[in-house]
Every structure is written in C-alpha cells, then in structure tokens.
Structure 1
C-alpha cells in the first residue's frame, strides 16, 4: 500500500522533453547574444552597460568541476534564481521563456521542470562548453 503513491507519481510524471540544439542556437542568437556575445564569452555589445558583467557561457562546465550546471542555468533563465544586472531580472525577455512546463534531466539525474525553449537553449549551451 505504501508503494501506491510512488507508483501514481511515476505514472503522472512527464517524459523528458526532446532537445533541439539548432532551435537552441537560434534562441541564443536572438535573445542572449546581445549581452553574452555571439561566441557566448560574456562580451556582447550590451555588456559594457550592465552592472553585472554577463557570464562566459562557454565556461559553465569548467567552473563546475566539469559538470554542466543544468539546475543553476535553468533557474537563472526562468527567474527562480534572479539576477538583477540592469534594473530588471535576467532575461529581459522572460515572457518568451514561459509556457507549458516540460521535464529535463538535472545534472543529478533527477527531472527539473522548465519550458521547451529553455530545454532547447540548454542543449545548445552544452555543445559550446570548453574543456
């Protein structure tokens, strides 16, 4: 009887969302490159005007012992871990990243809920990590 709630939770769980790297790159170029730069190194044309310099997105794994920090990145983008860099939360395009929740896998293997555009963006960001 104790297993019943757990089994019901598994039955209701969302499957992991498909990741589209090309869509993620398009999202990055449209929404993120202005601040983070086309090479994602934190040197976009808007970066000098920001109070907090944009992160070098190619070094996320390297600065996290070689593991891509999925949970931290998701929460920073979707606003659960806000960063006020220029008078508003990051990203300034937050409404775009809202929508139907989908699951993606955190670095721990556990699912984390976010939106499909963020899942696609994560897929792209993972491909540009430097050793």
Structure 2
C-alpha cells in the first residue's frame, strides 16, 4: 500500500491497527458507500443530494489546492468525526458518523509533524481523499 505524500504515516497505534492496515482502497469503498450522495461519485461536489443542502458541497479533489498544496489532514478529519462542527454535517457526519468510530485508533502524522488520533476507518477515508487530490 502506498499513501500519497506520506501525510498519513501512522506513528503508533492503540489496539490491533497497524500502519500497513491503512488502505486507500478501503477508504474509497467507504466513500462510495457513505459520501458520494452529497459529494459526488468523483468527489467534485455534485452528488444527487448536493442541491438539497443549505451550503455548497465542496469539491473534495481540491482540498490540498486550497491549502497551499498540502492535504489538510487534521481539518478534514475534524470535520468528518465531529471535533469541528460543520453546519452541513450537523456535527459528526449525519446518520453514519458511528461508522468512523472504532476502538482501532491510529496516530496520523500531520503536516506539522504532530500526531492526531483517528479511527482506522477514518484513516482509510483520509488516505483515499489524499489520493484524489487534483494538481
């Protein structure tokens, strides 16, 4: 498994999850199950539910581009898991927020070198999102 730009390098784990357990392929599967309806199949913000939301659904392929070319791991993780309240999500991701909660925690290395603990499913989703960033 290769993770683009190495941002999602696992530093240490609690529980049985290991760095090699992070899978962008599993993250893609999670995205296609839970996220595409709003964010679109290609993650460009044009999902069939997007027009029903009060705010514009972001193009997830441009997250790094809007952050000086660095994938904003911490900001995106916090929006997905509810640490940072997001109006459209109503806190954690609606209905399926529990999918990203798990006892398998992984410490991700943030661009500033600090670790951030997230559940393995969220680490997988972040790995996928990082792989789809447009140049």
Q: TM-score range by the shorter chain?
A: 0.7 to 0.9
The residue matched to 1:43 in structure 2 has which SS? coil
Within a 5 Å distance, the mapping from 1:1-131 to structure 2 comes to 14-15=12-13, 17-18=19-20, 19-85=22-88, 88-92=90-94, 93-100=96-103, 101-131=105-135
Query: What is the SS of the residue equivalent to 2:116?
Result: strand
Displacement of 1:53 after TM fit?
A: 1.6
Deviates more, 1:38-47 or 1:101-110: 101-110
Distance (whole Å) between structure 1 residues aligned to residue 134 and residue 82 of structure 2: 25
2:64/2:72 contact within 8 Å kept: yes
Q: Which residue in the other structure is 2:5 paired with?
A: none
Structure 1 gaps, min length 5? 1-12
Report the TM-score, using the length of structure 1 for normalisation. 0.84
Deviation (angstroms), 1:14: 3.0
**Structure 1: which 4+ aligned runs deviate by more than 6 Å?**
none
Question: Residue 85 of structure 1 aligns to a residue in which SS?
Answer: helix
Q: TM-score, normalised by structure 2?
A: 0.81
Kindly indicate whether structure 1 or structure 2 has the higher relative contact order, using CA contacts under 8 Å at least 6 residues apart. Answer: 2
Aligned residue-pair number: 118
Distance (Å, rounded) in 2 between the aligned partners of 1:14 and 1:55: 31
Instruction: Give the distance between the partners of 2:12 and 2:129, measured in 1 at CA.
Output: 23
